[in-house]
Amino acid sequence: MKLFGVDIQAEMASAMPASDLTSMVLTKYTNGTPDPLHLTNGMAPTTTAYTCHGIPPMVKMKRLGDDKPNVHVGGGTLRIVGKSLADQGVAPEKGDLIQVDGAITYTIEAVEWDGYKAMFACRVRGA
């Protein structure tokens, strides 16, 4: 989307290059189809992962324990550069998971964005 001929998403992406930000992976779940031989099992969800980059939440974390090293209690607002997902044709939604820097996984509770989807602000909670 452009404003006065300027691609706002591209401008934001060039001002905030991936090399200066934190790498993230957005995971989306999609309901699959039921197995005709095991109908009581319901629909098996499938997952698709999308790489992106942004700014992790700045919150105090509490680790749950050694048996769950990548699950943290806490939350905050995480920001994703819109162009890093737009090129893949997706946007974050409530219920998606996002892994930050290959370590901490969060569940997205709510998403807000500007009119050009140049930046997504995701309220997250430890998964």
Task: Give, as one character, the DSSP assignment of residue 58.
Answer: -
Here the tokens at position 66 are: 């050694």
For the whole model, what pTM was predicted? 0.73
Residue 56 three-state SS: coil
Q: Residue 1 has what pLDDT?
A: 63
Task: Give, as one character, the DSSP assignment of residue 10.
Answer: H
Tell me how many domains the chain contains.
Answer: 1
Tell me which residue of 17, 29, 19, 25 sits closest to 81, measured CA to CA. 17
Residue 9's domain comprises 2-126
Distances in whole angstroms, Cα of residue 116 to Cα of each of 16, 17, 41:
16, 18, 41
Q: Residue 85 has what pLDDT?
A: 92
Which is higher by pLDDT, 37 or 81? 81
91 has pLDDT over 80: yes
CB atoms within 10 A of CB 96: 19
What CATH number is given to the structural domain containing 91? 2.40.10
Spatial contact of 124 and 77, defined as CB atoms under 8 Å apart: yes
Mean pLDDT of 87-101: 93
